[in-house]
Structure 1
Amino acid sequence: MGCSSSRPMSNRRFSTSMGNSESTDHEMYEEAESQENGNPRVHWDDDDDDDEEEEDDYLTDYNMDMSSNYKYRTVSSKGPRSAGGRSRVTTTTAGETFEGSEYFDMETMTEGQSEMTDWDQEEPGLYAPSLSLWYNDEEAGDILTQDVYVPKFGLTKHTYYCCLQWNAGMNGGGYCGIQDHPKGRNYIFSLWDPVDTDKKIKPIYVGPGTICEPFGGEGEGLKTWNFTLGWESDSWYTVVIRRWDDGENTCYGFWVKHQMTLEWTHIVSLEFPVPATFFETLSCSFLEDWEGTGDQERRVHFKNGYKHGLNGKWMPFNKAVFSMVSEMRCKLFENNYDSGVLDDTFYLQSGGQTMQSASAVNGGMLTREMPAKPDVLPICVYLSSVTSEEVSWEISAGSVPQFQYIVYIDKLIYKQEVNSEARTCKFDTSPTELVELLIEDIYGHAVRSKFKVTNPPDCDSQTRTRLEVYVPTASH
């Protein structure tokens, strides 16, 4: 798995039903559009109706279109979602349930057995057992995020510390995480090929140091990995995956953050050749030895895991079902594993002299306390200038990355583009009344800036320079 693809737990599907300054010729002002003042993009609460008049029509329509596209595809699908043979069983061996989970096959999970593969014939007994956490995000969504930490004693070569896996065996299926690889410590993000078309996945943005190549073995698809950026033990990292529509395709972007340096990196964005695919199944994290180094310990911690639902609400990963895969290849170390909750993190450990704690119950439920939504400030935008020919902006170092921008001229949408790197939009014709810039970040926060064109007779109408810097507050 580590060199080619993620092991999708024998392709078992756990699907669900899922500021104000003036220059000689203009005045400009800006406002942070959070849930307190009517952010139309992310509806954190139901108590913000008083500010609905400030909602942006485009973003409101975007949410409605996304939800309707998903519902239409779910009803009309003839793929894996509509296949029979999966039971509606939601009770874990710990006696708790994931409410509303349709097709959540707990019988498969709690048995902890896998189908025999070629791997079972290779050096039986030398592998550490594969461990998984299945989260309680029952509804479909468009954003996934997770924090990951590997302690120094948990570093072992040929280990995949998978942060997130989704839609195994379905369209839009994929996984991402970090690996302790013989070539270095890398980030990996991959999508499996479509299940009902021969069209191939294509990269649409490749970050510095990122490599894209096909993979085979456990399914086929497009694998991307980055050894250049690197990661270290005893440090926290954040991964974010976001999907969006692009005509007859669905696009997926992958960003990572080093929490010590606050540096964000856009690793890659891929074009998946099927429209309106979403994060539909329960999300999963796992720990895997792909080479047979079960005599060594490996450990990983996860926290701040969330899915952003199509209704605008975040689903915190505050519950997880633990699963251990029992195979011939891990016979010597099949009892050397552990899982539990430590300092509000979920952890997985396997191999070496690992001993099971009381919380490491195959099929058992783990719970932890979490905020209802990610504790992340909105994007911090430095607005550079507006001229009769273009508008320019900058993103503060350490800020959440940009997802898309929308430019309005005289109250009409002039240009809208999903582009994390764009910082300028050129005009075909000069604005006469108002220029507005809306920047949305990868978590769905929106920041709007407005430039009112007054054009007094004695002004230089060619230059309108940004005089102040906007800094968002914590009330987002």
Structure 2
Amino acid sequence: MGCSSGRPIRRLSVSESSDSIEYKMYEESESPNPHVHWDDSDEEEDDDDYYTDHVMDASMNFRDRVMSSKGPRSAGARSRVTTTSAGETFDGGSEYFDIDTMTEGRSEMTDWDQEEPGIHAPSLSLWYNDEGPGDILTQDVYVPKVGLTKYTYYCCLQWNAGMNGGGYCGIQDHPKGHNYIFSLWDPIDTDKKIKPIYVGPGTIYEPFGGEGQGLKTWNFSLGWEPDNWYTLVTRRWDDDDRTCYGFWVKHHLTLEWTHLVSLEFPVPGTYFETLTCSFLEDWEGSGDQERRVHYQNGYKHGLNGKWLPFDKAVFSMVNETRCKLFENNYDSGVLDDTFYLHSGGQSMPTGGAVNGGMLKRKMPQKPDVLPICVYLSSVTAEEVSWDIPTGSVPQFQYIVYIDRMIYKQEINSEARTCKFNTPPTELVELLIEDIYGHAVRSRFKVSNPPDCDPETRKRLEVYVPTASH
């Protein structure tokens, strides 16, 4: 039994000429017509005005919150960082993002302005309409080949800037390669440190400093390619007096999911509380080169169990001295129901690139993702084991019931076996929850004495989901 994403693979087709670059979207099945959806109703306008004002008000507080805590979302830009695995060093930094992103065009001279005046591409941001706390964030990201430029951060998700549990994740075109990155800022009211609790193959981690302090994780070995879609998912959960955050990615072409890292944050009860943000940033100063990124299928899972789609976004452009030479070279808008950001080179503003303006798109009310596929592969007197095929949504946690009582419950994406202290006598049940919250339950009824041949106590049957949200 296989698994799929539940929707056709989508790619962006880019054609170049001497005069312009044309972007269009196509699907392997049907393709919707590109459009920007605007609702002209008075009630919708009132709601949009409230949302835009709310975003801009929140952004004006962004600087104050960050500066009064541990700094903005930079994670050691211009610093020398040492890896924890191979002993290799990375020069030049990789996570600078200017705090002025949502300040309605206010400009300030910074150290970077003085060092490299005018040569950066403008930093661009999208702020989504997902007000309220949540426990899951997800979004797809796509970089066309013509938008690929080194020293670029294509941030997919940022949350809680200047607050406990603040962080961000995305992909980068780094001098060392195409990497995934996931970072959390240190807590603001304790000296306790963030710790890794799971580190996937190829993932490295280290503290970062500079503007803001915290723990940075990145993975160069998995890699990503232009002209391909990738899904990024982060989920938080409680663990005694701590909050944990996991990070998973999916390559749409291969359908392969990878659990890159999970971190332990030393403060309990932190959630994805703020509006979620995506940004496009030139951290080195190569504004003469174009960079472009597309986002789709963005959602927050609220604590009430409902999904909040990123179907509206407020666009913001940083107007600062360090991008003076390229301050008019940027764009943003909606293309085939994807939000895009475009900066540097010969890019120019279009109708959607209004600083503080709102973009809209049509999208489903919840992620179009099939539940996890689980094979209950073996039940013996000593253990129960299961398999999850390639292409399935990753496991988040499992619960094993023995004779209708919970025997073990564990949040663990990699576990595939649970051993018994004593043999079950009546019923074994296995419930698997995936990272999106879908649940699949399998049952095995014990019909032989506990001391029978273990080979007779196997079952190879796949159960359909019993609950999902």
TM-score (norm 2): 0.78
Structure 1 gaps of 5+ residues are: 1-18, 20-90
Q: 2:371 & 2:57 partners in 1: Cα distance? A: 35
Q: In structure 1, give the amino acid aligned to 2:51.
A: F
Instruction: Identify the residue that residue 138 of structure 2 maps to in structure 1.
Output: 145
Instruction: Identify the residue that residue 105 of structure 1 maps to in structure 2.
Output: 58
CA offsets per residue over residues 426-447 of structure 1, 9 Å max, x none? 0001111111110000000000
Q: 1:127 & 1:94 partners in 2: Cα distance? A: 35
1:400 and 2:388 are equivalent in the alignment: no
1:414 and 2:407 are equivalent in the alignment: yes
Instruction: Identify the residue that residue 229 of structure 1 maps to in structure 2.
Output: 222
Structure 2 gaps of 5+ residues are: 2-43, 62-101
CA contact (8 A) 1:141 1:307 kept: yes
1:369 and 2:362 are equivalent in the alignment: yes
1:433–1:253 Cα change, 3 Å: same
Count residues with an aligned counterpart: 387
CA contact (8 A) 1:318 1:367 kept: yes
| C-alpha deviation, 1:115, in angstroms | 4.5
Counterpart among 288, 291, 299 of residue 298 in structure 1: 291
Q: In structure 2, give the amino acid aligned to 1:302.
A: Y
1:432 and 2:386 are equivalent in the alignment: no
1:434–1:323 Cα change, 3 Å: same
Q: In structure 2, give the amino acid aligned to 1:126.
A: I
CA offsets per residue over residues 236-273 of structure 1, 9 Å max, x none? 00000000001111000000000000000000000000
Q: 1:161 & 1:310 partners in 2: Cα distance? A: 28
Instruction: Identify the residue that residue 12 of structure 2 maps to in structure 1.
Output: none
CA contact (8 A) 1:336 1:354 kept: yes
Q: 1:222 & 1:283 partners in 2: Cα distance? A: 20
| C-alpha deviation, 1:216, in angstroms | 1.0
1:227–1:102 Cα change, 3 Å: closer
1:440–1:411 Cα change, 3 Å: same
Instruction: Identify the residue that residue 238 of structure 2 maps to in structure 1.
Output: 245
- Identity, in percent, stands at 81
CA offsets per residue over residues 89-146 of structure 1, 9 Å max, x none? xx99996333996994366736232544311212110000000000000110000000
Counterpart among 202, 211, 221 of residue 204 in structure 2: 211
Counterpart among 457, 462, 465 of residue 464 in structure 1: 457
Q: 2:364 & 2:418 partners in 1: Cα distance? A: 37
SS in 2 for 1:177: strand
CA offsets per residue over residues 198-223 of structure 1, 9 Å max, x none? 00000000000001001111201000
Q: In structure 1, give the amino acid aligned to 2:220.
A: F
SS in 1 for 2:146: helix
CA contact (8 A) 1:101 1:138 kept: no
Q: 2:130 & 2:468 partners in 1: Cα distance? A: 25
CA contact (8 A) 2:128 2:314 kept: yes
SS in 2 for 1:153: helix
Question: How does 1:333-412 map onto structure 2 within 5 Å?
Answer: 333-412=326-405
Q: 1:122 & 1:236 partners in 2: Cα distance? A: 36
CA contact (8 A) 1:186 1:228 kept: yes
CA contact (8 A) 2:400 2:429 kept: yes
1:324–1:390 Cα change, 3 Å: same
Question: How does 1:47-196 map onto structure 2 within 5 Å?
Answer: 96-98=49-51, 104-105=57-58, 109=102, 111-113=104-106, 115-196=108-189
SS in 1 for 2:324: helix
| C-alpha deviation, 1:470, in angstroms | 4.4
| C-alpha deviation, 1:392, in angstroms | 0.2
1:275 and 2:273 are equivalent in the alignment: no
CA contact (8 A) 1:209 1:228 kept: yes
1:213–1:103 Cα change, 3 Å: same
CA offsets per residue over residues 256-298 of structure 1, 9 Å max, x none? 0000000000000000000010000000000000000000100
Q: In structure 1, give the amino acid aligned to 2:197.
A: I
TM-score (norm 1): 0.77
Instruction: Identify the residue that residue 37 of structure 2 maps to in structure 1.
Output: none
CA contact (8 A) 1:92 1:365 kept: no
CA contact (8 A) 2:425 2:449 kept: no
Q: In structure 1, give the amino acid aligned to 2:257.
A: W
CA contact (8 A) 1:93 1:110 kept: no
Higher relative contact order (CA 8 A, sep 6+): 1
CA contact (8 A) 1:110 1:363 kept: no
